């Protein structure tokens, strides 16, 4: 569940508390959680954390020792958490890795019940290859021109495109739903057929929704919390996600539930109409009809 806003909030919290701390050791509870570089664990002992960044939904720690820099990449996956902990605190089930530190925060624990996330240990070339091969540009760093060119160059449904990590990094199901409603665009719109004004609306909505979520500490719809234990509050501002059957916030109709790309899409039947192609190639707006078998 953690998406870009949640990962960004995690990074900001970590930076404020452990940047500059020295790694005294790394404890690994499950070796299969460390997908790459487990043989380099000993190198990190005595290394200083010099940077903590986000790439898409990943948290990237840069550690420096003796003029060399290596990286710890934590994929949060569906349920991953990075949590501060005191050394004496019991070890909860599903704690798979611990960064033991010398500093005000003695431990950062990587917890993941569903184990979709992984941890990777890389040198500079390895981390660049890993991140660049898996993740596209960050939506909060995109210019409108680059964003529009991405849309024009991709055929396929709009929601699937927004959630494709190699195209745009960090957006998942929660924020794709919220962004598309804010932009008044249907999830099944063809990305390369948006008008200039639709592209503009989508770009603005993407920035407004993601930045608004970061300002509220992310969305804690399940178990998400930042490392110091605080929960996000943006779920209180969701307009459509998991709002099936509720009245549209704009007062124009109701929210219905449909399925696209195997993920739940929450759509207003009046605000987000699906354009249909005429025989002459022009577009015609069509209302969404709720299927009797859904």
Across all residues in the chain, what is the average pLDDT?
90
Question: Which residues have a catalytic role annotated?
Answer: 2-3, 57, 263
CA atoms of 173 and 266, how far apart (whole Å):
10
CA 211 to chain centre: 13
Q: What is the four-CA torsion angle of 155, 156, 159, 162, rounded to 10 degrees?
A: -40
Tokens for 133, please give them: 């091969």
Is residue 199 pLDDT above 90, yes or no?
yes
pLDDT digits (tens, 9 = 90+) for 224-237: 999 999 999 999 99
pLDDT digits (tens, 9 = 90+) for 135-191: 999 999 999 999 999 999 898 999 999 999 999 999 999 999 999 999 999 999 999
Would the pTM of this model clear 0.85, i.e. be above it? yes
pLDDT digits (tens, 9 = 90+) for 65-113: 999 999 999 999 888 999 999 877 778 888 999 999 998 899 999 999 8
Strand-strand pairing, 48-55 and 95-102:
unpaired
In degrees, to the nearest 5, what angle opens at C-alpha 248 toward C-alphas 155 and 238?
A: 75
pLDDT digits (tens, 9 = 90+) for 20-75: 999 999 999 888 889 888 889 999 999 999 999 999 999 999 999 999 999 999 99
Q: In the prediction, which pLDDT does 115 show?
A: 67
Question: Is 144-286 assigned to CATH 3.40.50.1460?
Answer: no
What are the structural domain ranges in the chain? 4-134, 144-286
Q: What CATH fold (topology level) applies to the domain 4-134?
A: N-terminal domain of MutM-like DNA repair proteins (3.20.190)
Any bridge partners for residue 63, and if so which?
Answer: 49, 70
pLDDT digits (tens, 9 = 90+) for 233-272: 999 999 999 998 899 998 887 777 776 656 889 999 889 9
CB 108 within 8 A of CB 84: yes
- Across 184-208, b (16+ Cβ under 10 Å) vs e yields bbbbbbbbeebeeebbebbbebbbe
CA atoms of 29 and 252, how far apart (whole Å):
52
């Amino acid at each position: 569940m953690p998406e870009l806003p949640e990962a960004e909030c995690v990074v900001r919290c970590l930076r404020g508390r452990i940047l500059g701390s020295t790694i005294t050791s790394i404890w690994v509870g499950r070796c299969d959680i460390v997908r790459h570089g487990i043989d380099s664990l000993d190198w990190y002992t005595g290394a200083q954390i010099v940077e903590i960044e986000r790439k898409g939904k990943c948290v990237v720690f840069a550690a420096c020792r003796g003029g060399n820099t290596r990286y710890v990449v934590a994929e949060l996956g569906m349920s991953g958490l990075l949590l501060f902990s005191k050394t004496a605190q019991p070890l909860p089930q599903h704690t798979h890795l611990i960064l033991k530190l010398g500093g005000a925060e003695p431990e950062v624990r990587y917890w993941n019940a569903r184990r979709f996330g992984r941890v990777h240990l890389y040198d500079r070339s390895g981390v660049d290859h890993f991140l660049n091969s898996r993740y596209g540009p960050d939506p909060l760093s995109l210019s409108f021109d680059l964003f529009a060119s991405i849309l024009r160059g991709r055929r396929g449904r709009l929601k699937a495109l927004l959630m494709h990590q190699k195209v745009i990094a960090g957006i998942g199901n929660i924020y794709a739903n919220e962004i598309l409603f804010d932009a008044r665009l249907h999830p099944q719109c063809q990305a390369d057929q948006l008008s200039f004004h639709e592209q503009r609306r989508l770009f603005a909505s993407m920035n407004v929704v993601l930045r608004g979520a970061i300002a509220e500490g992310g969305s804690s719809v399940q178990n998400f919390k930042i490392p110091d234990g605080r929960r996000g509050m943006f779920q209180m501002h969701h307009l459509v996600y998991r709002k099936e059957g509720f009245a549209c916030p704009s007062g124009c109709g109701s929210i219905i539930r449909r399925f696209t790309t195997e993920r739940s899409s929450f759509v207003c039947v009046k605000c987000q109409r699906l354009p249909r192609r005429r025989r002459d190639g022009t577009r015609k707006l069509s209302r969404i009809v709720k299927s009797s078998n859904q």
